[in-house]
Structure 1
Amino acid sequence: MTASIGKRIVEMPAYIPIEPIDVLAARLNIPAEKIVKMDANENPYGPSPLVKEALARLDLVNIYPDPESRKLRDGLSNFHKVPMENLLAGSGADELIDLLVRVLLEPGDCVINCVPTFGMYSFDTLLNYGTCISIQRNADFSLDQEAIEVAVRKNKPKIIFACSPNNPDGRLLTGEEIDFLLSLHTLVVVDEAYIEFTQQNLDLGRSRSIITQTPKRENLVVLRTFSKWAGLAGLRVGFGAFPSWLMDSLWKAKQPYNVNIAASAAALASLSDDAYLAGNVARIQQERARLFTKLQSLPTLQPYPSQSNFILCKTKNVSAIEIKRKLASRGVFIRHYDNALLKDCIRISVGRPEDTDELIHQLEGIL
């Protein structure tokens, strides 16, 4: 055989996804409804009822979807007050991260990543022949602006990735930090996957998002998703707002039928029922506050303040992986970190009140 695996694939670390409920239930030999899933930042309340109605009415599933997602982009334009010509829909925001990197990077080009953060930025960079320069955040997860500025001058990156609120700590970028990044004259990709959970007065993050700035900024991209606030993680639908100079190249490189008709219909139904979904977001925010207080009461855990739908905790005198393993054996699933950036940390997605109660009950038994 003459074919061989590319060196970059052999050497790059694999991205480890979270497993679904049915797989976890089968592994533990317990009913799926007994699983407490707090490991993937999913919305425990699910989608709007209008989504299920829209999916039941689906027609023409034998026909390829609109390659330009025109109805969805028009709905997004009206909802977010961003020109339709600056919007692109994707199979989750993950696809758009990969698309951006593929369009902008040549072999050997680099990006700047503000770590710890979402793993797909580095994953897609390596997959597309790029180099990822990791700049560690400060102890409070704020950006190390001096280090970033030095790295930009030295390496001339094509992209700076910044997640806001950041995953896994839930910290929102400040206005000053965003202004600093944009002053560097490098393309800045702000991933607002969790921005809706920073909402005030049920505005679904509109007062905190910078998405409306994209048409006016030559070096700003904002990514969004329906996975979290709208409860559509299983349908994979996201979108981005991009400067005009990028759009032709993105359209050229995009897979032609990347957003299926079910995802598009569900996203449009969600936009038409934002008040209902904002109520679910408010319930998650309320439960986040209760969960934070309960985690604070456990002497072996130090939770970090979060503006997202998860809470990161530092463990004290106990292994994060052991906590995860013991919880998993009891049907409660969380995320753990045990690396140089996040030594002995766990991340807990905010669930329903009964999920919090079961988690705390099991943690008290373990700790």
Structure 2
Amino acid sequence: MIDEIQKDVFERFEQVAPYTPIEPFEVIAERVGRKPEEIIKLDANENPYGLSPLARQALSGLRWGNIYPDPESRALRQAISGFLNVPVEHILAGAGADELIDLILRVLLKPGDAVLVAPPTFGMYAFDARINGGRVLEVPRNPDFSLNLEGMRRIVQQQKPRAVLLASPNNPDGRMLTPSELEEIFSWGVLVVLDEAYIEFSDGGQLGEKNSQIRLPLERDNVIVLRTFSKWAGLAGLRVGYGVFPQWMLPVLWKVKQPYNVNVAASAAAIASLEDLACLIERVANLRSERWRLFNVLTQVDWLEPVPSQANFILCRVKGRPARNVKADLMKRGIFVRYFDTPLLQNYIRISVGLPQHHDVLFQVLKEMEEPNS
């Protein structure tokens, strides 16, 4: 019997490509023979400032680590409700937005059901769809990373996917969806999962609030909006995110989610972060400023073609040399970036926005790499 189970498990997941995560500081530092503090880590879109002071205090004073967390994350959801001005009843918290993506697809998909994505984009959409027994329909983006709306509309009409999953700003290019694109997509009637993991870095208010669709699920039954504390609040290592959902979906989500999904440390740090907004707003403003400084310097590198971004990273096409080699050369100097070489992203690197001193070192190294054989 166990042989049959093994065969079935292998066959069901044989075609699922594993998601490739970014490795931690200590692992990559050891690989290049450096101390972790000597590494300039610009490969995972993390916040280089780390936790806010109040978040650090909350963790150092944590009292109830031996007690299971609130299964409803009531204090956290109440804090998010006040931050967003959204009724708490529409908010669900998760162990990062990643958990909520998986939870949504677990609820939506029956074996063989499909979702629609627009690559290149965040790989977890396709990954979670496949491990939940779904099919992934893809309509690639245009060369400027805008959506192929005509192709997407045709797929929605003909194949009727259960959901369309989109990020705004998109990862890895940092492009925002335009109001006209959003209105068109919402009009199709299909469920839209809108991932705003990087919205706070967009140029629309102190925390990108003018660009956000976070209140739309209160008005439309076919829109879900996801957010995270990983990027703007520097809590990537604690895994805490949230979503605003239409009312009809929430009873099912509450029924099937893991009971203690947001741990007490993550919850305490997220609540404290929302009490430390002045600090975080200043840090986001600094990262926006550094993004434009980084972009302007990258445009001066003859063999790089940076893409304008509204997130905390910049995607660059590498010209005249393999992006893999660029990543390796930077790694030898203690600088880590992400590289892509896929059919839709041929020979690209992505550089996260770091601190000014990180960029100063990067600029100097890029200058030294100007000659192809350097």
TM range (shorter): over 0.9
* Contact 1:8 1:126 (C-alpha < 8 Å) held by counterparts: no
Q: Which runs of 5+ in 1 are unaligned?
A: none
Residue 224 (structure 1) shift? 0.1
How do 1:1-367 and structure 2 match up within 5 A?
1-2=2-3, 3-4=5-6, 5-202=9-206, 204-367=207-370
Residues 180-216 of structure 1, C-alpha deviations (whole Å, 9 max, x = no match): 11101000011000000014452x1111111011111
Q: Whole-Å Cα distance in 2 between the matches of residues 74 and 237 of structure 1?
A: 15
Residues 47-95 of structure 1, C-alpha deviations (whole Å, 9 max, x = no match): 2100011112211211110000001111111110111111000000000
Aligned length: 366
Give the aligned residue type for 1:186. Answer: V
Q: Which runs of 5+ in 2 are unaligned?
A: none
Q: Whole-Å Cα distance in 2 between the matches of residues 200 and 84 of structure 1?
A: 24
Q: Whole-Å Cα distance in 2 between the matches of residues 61 and 35 of structure 1?
A: 31
Q: Whole-Å Cα distance in 1 between the matches of residues 89 and 160 of structure 2?
A: 29
* Contact 1:226 1:238 (C-alpha < 8 Å) held by counterparts: yes
SS at match of 1:270: helix
Give the aligned residue type for 1:141. Answer: F
Summarize the Cα distance change of 1:250–1:146 in structure 2 as closer, same or farther, 3 Å threshold. same
Residues 256-313 of structure 1, C-alpha deviations (whole Å, 9 max, x = no match): 0000010001000011111110100011011111100110000000001001000000
Give the aligned residue type for 1:143. Answer: L
TM-score w.r.t. the length of structure 2 is: 0.96
Q: Whole-Å Cα distance in 2 between the matches of residues 121 and 58 of structure 1?
A: 34
Q: Whole-Å Cα distance in 2 between the matches of residues 335 and 28 of structure 1?
A: 16
Task: Give the fraction of aligned pairs with identical amino acids, expressed as a percent.
Answer: 52
Q: Which runs of 4+ in 1 moved over 4 A?
A: none
Give the aligned residue type for 2:65. Answer: V
* Contact 1:199 1:206 (C-alpha < 8 Å) held by counterparts: no
Residue 230 (structure 1) shift? 0.2
Q: Whole-Å Cα distance in 1 between the matches of residues 126 and 96 of structure 2?
A: 17
